[in-house]
Amino acid sequence: MGDPCGIAPEITYKAWKALNNQKEYCFAVIAQPEVFDYCYTEVKLITKPFEAHNVFHNSLPIIPIDGKISQKGLPNSIHSSSIVRSIKLGVDICTKGKADGLVTNPISKEVLYKSGFNFPGHTEFLGELTKELHMPYSRGPVMMLSGGGLKIALITVHVPLREAALLITKKDIIKKARVINEALINDFGIKYPRIALAGLNPHAGENGQLGQEEINIINPAAKILRTEGINISDALPADTLFHEESRSMYDAAIAMYHDQGLIPVKTLDFHGGVNITLGLPIIRTSPDHGTAFNIAGKNIARPDSLIAAIKAARMISDNRALNNA
């Protein structure tokens, strides 16, 4: 559902219009039907996910949930409970095998925080909701951004920059790199993944002259991972890691902090980037943008990123099915 006061309803409708004639795609929306009032004649309420197959070509299938309605473009905490319920229901549907994957629309973290939401974002919340479920691979969650030919996973995510360096540990790099390596094999179909590890400091620390994290934390973690058979580099200077020639040398990169990873993806593919949560027992993707309250209700929002997220979820589902065949 995402935040109904943002562009989620609009891009969802536009994504359906773009995909409803492509037989490999079918989705149902968990939402308050009222937020689709401007296209209500093209909406069909359903009670079970499988019913979406029967109506998707002609109607946008909606699994209805209750909730209050407020003005588009204005964030409002009255939606917090319905937003959280929609996420929980989506997870429940996927864990019961009634859907192949979960695609989440953008939420406003500020709105949820004001209502007592105790997780930095979707990624961490989904990790909590699925922590007791069987996981056939290394458990995350790990955030990965995909777009413009790049796949970049993050070691630290939604934390202030001044705290990020203190949160980078050898243990965390090792744990997340294992998740990333297995996801590249199982979710992306890359038989022998190559992983590039970004340094934290300028010039990857310049042999300790510009910081010790590469020497004391990042490179020792990479050394341990290589003994496990994972093809991962030592810390590389981030300022030369993302140009075209460098990108051809690896299948995925690991960034140490949020903007180090998101800036190159959004520069290369601002409208089509996808947020993918690795290391979950369910498939979860999301558009790589926010709620865009400032343009909500104006019919100018682009659905590219949501469409890419839907296609990514389909691709991952197909790859997992092949691996389990």
Statement: residue 127 has pLDDT above 80: yes
Q: For 65, phi and psi rounded to 5 degrees? A: -130, 155
CA distance 170 to 153: 16
> pLDDT tens digits for 206-242?
999 999 999 999 999 999 999 999 999 999 999 999 9
Q: Could you give the C-alpha distances from 15 to 42, 75, 176, 304, in angstroms and in order? A: 13, 23, 32, 8
Q: How many CA atoms lie within 13 A of 15 on its CB side?
A: 26
CA distance 275 to 290: 11
Set out the domains of the chain in order of their start, with CATH numbers. 1-135+289-299 (3.40.718.10), 137-279 (3.40.718.10)
pLDDT given for residue 75 in this prediction: 84
Joined together, the tokens standing for residue 194 give 């190559």
Average pLDDT over residues 149-161: 95
> pLDDT tens digits for 247-302?
999 999 999 999 999 999 999 999 999 999 999 999 999 999 999 999 998 999 99
Q: Say which range, 65-69, 160-164, 181-185, 232-236, has the weakest mean pLDDT.
A: 65-69
Vertex 147: Cα angle to 145 and 153 (nearest 5): 25
Rounded (10°) CA dihedral 16, 21, 24, 30: 20
The alpha carbon of 276 is separated from its chain's Cα centroid by a whole number of angstroms, namely: 3
CB-based contact 271:302 (threshold 8 Å): yes
Q: Report the candidate in 76, 74, 80, 82 with the shortest Cα–Cα distance to residue 34.
A: 82
Non-local CB neighbours of 142 within 8 Å, separated by 6+ positions: 153, 154, 176, 179, 180, 183, 277, 278, 279
CB-based contact 197:231 (threshold 8 Å): no
Joined together, the tokens standing for residue 145 give 């951004």
Percent of the chain whose pLDDT exceeds 70: 99
Non-local CB neighbours of 226 within 8 Å, separated by 6+ positions: 232
Of the two residues 138 and 172, the one the predictor is more confident about is: 172
Burial 142-179 (b: 16+ CB within 10 A, else e): bbbbbbbebbbbbbbbeeeeeebeeebebeebbbbbbb
Statement: residue 76 has pLDDT above 90: no
Average pLDDT, the chain: 94
Of the two residues 226 and 109, the one the predictor is more confident about is: 226
CA distance 156 to 183: 18
Residue ranges of alpha helices (H) inside 96-148 are 109-114, 122-129
The pTM (predicted TM-score) of the whole model is 0.94
pLDDT given for residue 325 in this prediction: 59
Q: By three-state DSSP, how is residue 6 classified?
A: coil
Label residue 122 by pLDDT band (50, 70, 90): confident
Q: By three-state DSSP, how is residue 69 classified?
A: coil
